[in-house]
């Protein structure tokens, strides 16, 4: 019995790994590089042509599932915490993610540092425009302490 089990495990384990690769290839093998890049270019064009955050939000909700949106948001949070110098262990505890995910984001930060910096700069720009337009000071010239009145502007209403 031990020799049969030993042979079974050593022979079948690599086959299981290969069948996993075959499954992935079967799943996406029909896609061509041109078709995938064509679809991604179409998405990029839609983002670039969006006039405000509402349109971008609509595109994101249409294209990504709830879980995909949560994973992207979590990756951005991980990148922010890594940039602040927070340890893997603290990030794992705080966001309930595995070391593999944290490592993936850290590698991504290393390989594409400009992308995350661009996200932060764009966020800062939207935040400045929001703060400038979300509230207006009201009260006549005789009123010493003017009131702030909310204009109804939302961050997603900020135009490009």
Each residue of 115-134: pLDDT tens digit? 989 998 988 888 888 778 77
Q: Where are the domains of the chain?
A: 64-111, 114-160
Query: What is the pTM (predicted TM-score) of this model?
Result: 0.67
In terms of DSSP H, where are the helices of 33-97? 33-49, 53-63, 66-83, 88-95
Q: Cα–Cα distance between 79 and 73 in angstroms, integer? A: 10
Each residue of 21-48: pLDDT tens digit? 555 557 777 888 888 889 999 999 998 8
Q: Cα–Cα distance between 147 and 139 in angstroms, integer? A: 6
Cβ neighbours for 108, distance < 8 A, ≥ 6 positions apart: 75, 79, 115
């Amino acid at each position: 019995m031990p020799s049969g089990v030993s042979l079974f495990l050593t022979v079948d384990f690599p086959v299981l790994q290969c069948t996993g690769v075959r499954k992935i290839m079967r799943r996406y093998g029909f896609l061509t590089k041109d078709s995938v890049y064509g679809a991604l270019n179409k998405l990029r064009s839609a983002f670039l042509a969006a006039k405000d955050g509402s349109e971008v939000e609509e595109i994101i909700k249409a294209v990504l599932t709830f879980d995909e949106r949560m994973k992207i948001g979590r990756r951005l949070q991980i990148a922010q915490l890594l940039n602040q110098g927070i340890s893997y262990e603290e990030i794992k505890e705080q966001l309930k993610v595995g070391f593999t995910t944290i490592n993936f984001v850290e590698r991504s930060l290393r390989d594409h540092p400009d992308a995350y910096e661009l996200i932060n700069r764009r966020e800062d720009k939207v935040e400045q425009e929001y703060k400038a337009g979300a509230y207006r000071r009201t009260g006549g010239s005789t009123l010493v302490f003017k009131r702030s009145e909310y204009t109804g502007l939302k961050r997603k209403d900020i135009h490009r």
